Amino acid sequence: MATVTRKSHAQLVKMRRAGQITALALQAVAQAIHAGVSTAELDRIAEKTIRGLGAVPSFKGYHGYPASICASINDEIVHGIPSRRQLREGDIVSIDAGAIWRGYQGDSAITVAVDQVEPRVQALIQATQDGLHAGIAAVRVGATLGDVSHAIQAVADAAGFGVVREYGGHGIGAAMHEPPRIPNWGAPGRGLVLETGMTLAIEPMYTMRGYETRVLSDDWTVVTADGSWAAHWEHTVAVTETGAEILTLVPDGAGAEVVEVQDEN
């Protein structure tokens, strides 16, 4: 396995800020989600928030990707391109966003129900978020990546949902995607042993049924092969002496944060 870097305190400060900005962008998008809003409008909100906080949207231009967020609706799992398509009551939408602040990256995703959705669909969203937190809870010095993968898979298995196998989490730092790969399924005790300063993007993707995927003709949008709906949650975390620190959280006193970041630029 290629070298997994361990970040210094100064690097973690930058990643924390990049993560906070990512979280603030997702918060702004979540507040705008309702029936009738287009995913292009959500993209504009995210980009404005990220740039307004002195950061750069990491997705824009990444391998030619045209937007600042991915917005993946219903059977779309990840990498949905924002468009004029409007959300409708009963839809679910996964929003993935990333920001670069002073050279360091944050990456996070949420899945949101548009008004009322079917109970089993709501359960899918909840289970996937629970899977993310189970994965994060497995992060500690001396644990293995397999422990994290297995914890995520176990939540899906217990709830009767499928786990996407072809996409997963990743190391993150100055680049959005660094080693290691973090599958959302696997056996405990296997793989890389975690050390302090490693920074990981953990991102379960669960489906209502099967785990097979295909990519649409736009060359980006990943959908379930069986048409079942999918949810996606992601946080960027750092391995610490006491476990994991989630870096992609909305900061306390977010208003003050905004002014401070703008002044620094």
Q: Which residues between 43 and 102 bind ligand MF3 (CB under 6 A)? A: 59, 62-63, 65, 70, 79, 96, 98
232 binds ligand MF3 (CB under 6 A): no
Burial of 30 (0-12, 13-18, 19+ CB in 10 A): middle
CB of residue 63 vs ligand MF3: minimum separation in angstroms?
A: 6
Exposure class string for 125-142: b at 16+ Cβ within 10 A, else e: bebbbbbbbbbbebbbee
Strand partners, 206: 163, 231
Binding mask 2-41 for ligand MF3 (x = CB under 6 A): ----------------------------------------
Q: What distance in Å separates the CA atoms of residue 100 and residue 264, rounded to the nearest whole number?
A: 15
59 binds, among ligand MF3, Co ion, none (CB under 5 to 8 A by kind): ligand MF3
Do strands 222-224 and 199-202 pair parallel, antiparallel, or not at all (unpaired)?
Answer: unpaired
CB of residue 118 vs ligand MF3: minimum separation in angstroms?
A: 27
Q: What distance in Å separates the CA atoms of residue 61 and residue 198, rounded to the nearest whole number?
A: 26
CB of residue 207 vs ligand MF3: minimum separation in angstroms?
A: 17
Task: Give the position of tokens 């996070």.
Answer: 108
Q: Which residues between 92 and 131 bind ligand MF3 (CB under 6 A)? A: 96, 98, 107
Binding mask 145-184 for ligand MF3 (x = CB under 6 A): ----------------------------------------
User: What one-character DSSP code corresponds to residue 68?
Assistant: S
Q: Who's near 50: CB < 8 A, 6+ residues apart?
A: 21, 22, 25, 56, 57, 68, 97, 99
70 binds, among Co ion, ligand MF3, none (CB under 5 to 8 A by kind): ligand MF3
List residues near ligand MF3 by CB under 6 A. Answer: 59, 62-63, 65, 70, 79, 96, 98, 107, 201, 203
